[in-house]
Structure 1
Amino acid sequence: MFRRTLELVSPIPPMRTGTAAYFDTIVSRIAPIARSQGDVVILADPRAMPEGRSLPDSLHGVPVVACGEAHAEPGVGVTRIIFLANNEYHLFAHQMVQKQSSRAMGRTIVVLHDPSMFMVHRHMTGGALPDYSTADLIDATKTQLGAAAERLVLRRMNDVLPEVFEHGVHCMGDALRVADEVWVHSLYAANRVVFENDIELGRLPLIRVCAHPHSPIAGHRNRGSDGEGAFRIGVFGWVTPPKRAFSILRGLSLALDRLPAAERGRLELVIVGRKPSNSDYDPAGEAQRLQLGDQVQFIDYPDADTFESLMATCRLIFNLRYPSCGESSGTLASAETTTARHVVSRYQSFRESRGAWRFIDVVQPYEVWQIAQCILDALRLEALPDQGTTLDSKSGVAPVEKLVLLEMMKQQQGMHDAGLSL
């Protein structure tokens, strides 16, 4: 009889989110051991599958079960690892955390893709989860906002406070209430967990900083752009305002103004990723306004192989954030394993990137000016050998899939001490 000892809670492919691809990489790495042990199960939400698709029976041979079939909390001898992010595909995972008791008999590990998740919790109050109320939202912020939580949250919901408020509020209350361990992908996120929350005495979980799963792109050499002599610039991931697509387009426009005609014809920009369907954010319209139609290509949501091959053809990759929304960046981790020069914002956890070619400021007009200068400098330097970077930004930190494997080993050996360190 199948007996669960490890439950993994996350979106899975073919759900159209980068965190599903991230999770797919983890499962592909642990699958041989998970299949041999036969006691690992994945909990996913069938409502998040693309139209006309149903949950697969397995992912890389590891059983997949609808989240509605799971117990409210892990039982004796069970470890539940819950991946939480600030997007709609993780609604069910946030709901599982909220409904779980802090006195669960099993262990709970929370993996935070982003330390600030107010946006998805606010979305939960807007009908996405009928039984999640504004009072629940306020409660989730109290570890950070304390006695001011109700006043501040209601002021934001009434548009009295600016939108940037949502990028800085954690909503970690439920996660910290149930977690035996919290895993993050940056020292910045770890510090926010520890120093910005009033955690109940005796409930401070063990905090682990771990690297992203090793990217499938790792070790690839950039093959150059499809067009002969072309210089391809890439932007990858969801197309939302914090990814700074408008700034990149404006920086490209400035760079083109400074180049002779022969050089202008070499530049091309690919913006790869899906724009949220309910968003009025329109980078394509901005590209047309700037008369960049010949230089810019938008690719909505390619399959994983196409995504990887496109990244491998870029000479320069921009991975920018402000105001931050998604502290963990799988696209940044992937870019760091290619030979492209990659440029990141000098902001929050992105400042920890050890493989970045350039850091740029987030304030205007300097951001746009520096983007333009990066493009011009990269063009001038492209002929020099070995100028790309292949340094993993977390080269000295265990990747997350190794921590998952450790949990599997602990279950097999009966080691349930949450304080076990690497």
Structure 2
Amino acid sequence: MIEVTMPRLSDSMEEGTILQWLVADGDPVSRGDELAEIETDKATMTYEADADGLVHHVAREGDTLAVGTPIAVLLADGEEMPVRHLPSTDQQPDGQPAVAPTPATAVVSPPATAGGGRPKSSPLARRIAVAHGVELAALAGSGPGGRIVRADVEAYVRQQQNGNGKVDAAPAPAPVAESNRGTITRTEPTRTQTLIARRMAESRATIPAFDVSMDVDVTDLLALRADLKAAGRVASVNDFVVKAVGLTLRDHPRVNGAWRDGGFETYERVNVGIAVAAEGTLVVPTVFDADRKPVTEIAADTRALAERVREQTITPPELSGGTFTVSNLGMFGVTAFNAVVNPGQAAILAVGAAVPRLVLGEASAPAQRSVMTVTLSSDHRILYGADAAAFLAALRERLQQPLLLLVD
């Protein structure tokens, strides 16, 4: 017998929720087969079997369990289920009362096919399907292994709408109370949103953060980016920022570290997390070795990671190992903001939009330049004002000489 426990799918994961079993109780599985979809503090991920055997569920869909808690067992042929792993109808395996599935869990359960199985689909695709009354069994998946993804459901919805087919929207949250503020409507957060809220509150309560801002002239960077685009090499401003951050972290190792357990930690690799907005949540996938990769490779990585975040197919390794984070709201027209330091890191960089400004050029003549504000929020236990200022000054120098970012 092999015991399958709730896995640690991210650096900060303490517990997870089983959204869906992908194999029926008693079915045979092989190493690498998908067992279950698990919601963590960062994203919904698919967990694969580590060995062969007949799977027997110990936990139910909707159960929220701590890392290391048994969720299933794998039995060899002829092997019987131990009594201690037989689930009761009213208790979880740890003896606690069973946790009823939340409304969010019920939403993500897809309909069964005619053969009694479930069509493979991403959690986001299922949510969209439920919202529009779409039966997943009627769709053909374009994802890996025929998996139904967001684009498949949205294409079907558009087809129905264009053909005057009726597609019903999901019901709006019901009003729950009246007050002098009018009708109050309460919507319960998803588990991921709840855990993000807890992590951010933990950061504000335990990390003595301070903020340092600096303006960067990105006129030459924008011109270089336009030239690259014309040559068929697409890279965003944020890709250049990630590359410049990677190189600057290499020269400022304390910023590429953290205060942990009463001491300083610095990290050999430079792994930059990029904040990506997903459906009602925020996920931070990692660009590994950002100091060593060319800008064009970083651009390809970030596009692929962002797409997997939105499709909810991001994998645990892609969400772990970050040593620093970049959060960019410039695409929304935000010129400057302060970000929240992620626990386990020394700092986070907030990037604003590039805006035109009149500055004094040669012979004190006014000239229009594109200026971008960057703000470093730092943990004061490991970084001090001079450290933050030196880091930003070095970062600014690199961004203002963008050609060097293509050769480093």
Q: Output the TM-score relative to the length of structure 1.
A: 0.30
Q: Which protein is richer in helix relative to its size?
A: 1
Q: Which protein is richer in strand relative to its size?
A: 2
